Structure formats: C-alpha cells, structure tokens
Amino acid sequence: MENRGENLLMVNELLSSSSNSDDEVDEVFLFLFDDIFGEERDHYRRRILRVQNFIETYLLYLLRPNLEGRRVNNHISPKKQLYITLYIFGTPDSYRYVTSKFDVRKATAWRAVKRVVKAICHWRNVFIRWPFQREAQETAARIYRNKGFPGVIGALDDTHIRISAPKEHQQSYINRKGFHSIHLQALCNDKLEFLHYYTDLPASLHDSRVYRYSAFQQRCTEEYFPDSTHLLADSAYTLQNHIIVPYIRNRHLTLEELYLNTWLSSVCTMIERAFAILK
C-alpha cells in the first residue's frame, strides 16, 4: 500500500508539472496504471487512452470473442490488443514508438489494431442505427424544449477524414485545404449519437454529389420520418421532403429569413460537435 501511494504521488506530480514531457507521463502511466491505480485509474486512463473505465470494460466484454478466436503473434491478450488500439487512436505516436511501449513487434501491433477495428465494425449496426419511432419522438421533444425548433430528429452534414495518399487517382483525393481525404457524410441527434453514415468517396467531390451517391434521399419517407419530423442541414444540401436547409443568400433576405437561418444554424451545431469529438 505504501509503494502504491508513492507511485500515485509520483504520477500526480508528473501530470501536474509543466516541466515534464508527455513522453515521461506516458511511460509512467502505461507501466503502472493496471497494477496500482485501482479506483483512481479512470482519470489517468482518460488522459492517455481517451476512454472511461466502464467503456473499456464494455468494449473488452463485447470484443473478447472476436479477439480470442485467433490471437496475433506472441499470443497477446484481448486486453492488450485493445490497449494498443486505443493508444494508437488516442495519441499521435508512431507505430515504432507504440511497439516499444507495449513490447511487441510492429507487425503484431498492426494486426492487433486491424483485428480490434474489424471487431468493432462487426457491431456497427448496433450502435449506428436509425431511431425507433419512440426514440425519434423523444429526440424531437428534447430539441424543441432546448432550441424551440419543432420536429427535428437530427442534423446532417459532411466532413473530411484525412488519409494517406492513395496509389491511384491521388489528385481526386486532395481537398480544398490541400491534403488527401475522403468524405464522411453523417447524421446525429442532440446527444451527438450517430444515426447514419456514408463514407469512402474522394475529397474532390462536392457535398451535394456525395449526398446523391449515398442514396439517403430514399430514406426521406414517412416510414423513416413519422409525425412530420425532419432533419436540418446546411446550404450544401437542397430543400426536400424531411430535410430543411437555410435560405441561400443569392438575394436580399428578409429579417424573418435571416432569423430562421440563424436559428437553424444554432441547432445544426450538434453535428459539428459530433464531428469534433470523432476527430
């Protein structure tokens, strides 16, 4: 117990000191947290692995069968595979740096990440799904209560996900900011939960074309939008059944139209916040 207390004091000092580098903090954390932190370790886990304790426990419970079936080289445990993946997702460190921390080869770490991602994708439709009617009604009620905008069940937008330069058609994947990326079109609710997504198209395509390729308009029916519910989107999209967009500034807008644009924009921030958390 005394050693544990000394270790906690040492890590607290590292975390609170501006003179210590992140590398020093990471080394101490990854070496000690599973053995000594106990109830306090959640704070440190969020600092390095970027997840809370209950999320890590749930992920391990959910993914363990997929990760135990065919272990990677050196028989690393499902827990270690998950830690490697979370660390790579949560830090800018290179694979070479990560392999030294976890004492595995680069190929082993790469396969662990690939396996964890594949296991997570196996469950994607459990977590990213269209709301049931009752859920949609509850979402619309919350948004109306908080923002005053009636009938809204979510916000739709597009963002860019940075990628390495592909071997073919590299120019098509360069976006307006000059780096290679692919589109991610997504819809979320006011809890920042993703309800639908479409991705993989090259950055050079306009948002409106991505929308057409996604075939999302096929969902714009009463079956998916009961009780006159709808989505909000920005001016890159067009007004249509169950999707409301701001007035285009191609003419003089009235005060009412300007007010509606501002109102709509304030509600649409939910998808911007969801993208910010995702990235």
Do 58 and 177 lie in one domain? The reply is no
Q: Which of 105, 126, 147 is the last residue of a domain?
A: 126
Nearest to 143 by CA among 158, 125, 131: 131
Do 111 and 247 lie in one domain? The reply is no
* Ramachandran angles phi, psi of 258, nearest 5°: -65, -40
Radius of gyration of the chain (CA): 23
Do 192 and 160 lie in one domain? The reply is yes
Do 119 and 229 lie in one domain? The reply is no
The pLDDT assigned to 267 comes to 94
pLDDT along the chain (279 residues), means of 10: 48 47 46 47 59 78 82 70 87 82 87 92 89 94 95 96 90 92 96 94 90 87 90 91 90 90 94 92
Cα 12 to chain centroid distance, Å, stands at 29
**pTM, entire model:** 0.73
Nearest to 15 by CA among 52, 55, 56, 45: 45
Do 58 and 106 lie in one domain? The reply is yes
The pLDDT assigned to 43 comes to 58
The pLDDT assigned to 201 comes to 93
Do 160 and 206 lie in one domain? The reply is yes
Do 96 and 134 lie in one domain? The reply is no
Domain count, the chain: 2
The pLDDT assigned to 69 comes to 62
Query: In sequence order, what are the beta bridge partners of 182?
Result: 161, 202
Q: Which of 85, 108, 126 is the last residue of a domain?
A: 126
The pLDDT assigned to 23 comes to 45
Q: Which of 100, 126, 152 is the last residue of a domain?
A: 126
Do 143 and 30 lie in one domain? The reply is no
Do 42 and 71 lie in one domain? The reply is yes
Do 82 and 140 lie in one domain? The reply is no
Do 267 and 135 lie in one domain? The reply is yes
| Cβ atoms < 10 Å from Cβ of 86 | 20
Could you list the residue range(s) of the whole structural domain that residue 17 is in? 4-126
> Helices 41-48 and 2-16: crossing angle, nearest 10°?
40
Do 248 and 265 lie in one domain? The reply is yes
Amino acid (one-letter) located at 267:
V
Q: How far is CA 81 from CA 52, 246, 264, 268, in A?
A: 17, 46, 43, 37
The pLDDT assigned to 46 comes to 61
Nearest to 109 by CA among 84, 92, 75, 91: 84
The pLDDT assigned to 42 comes to 57
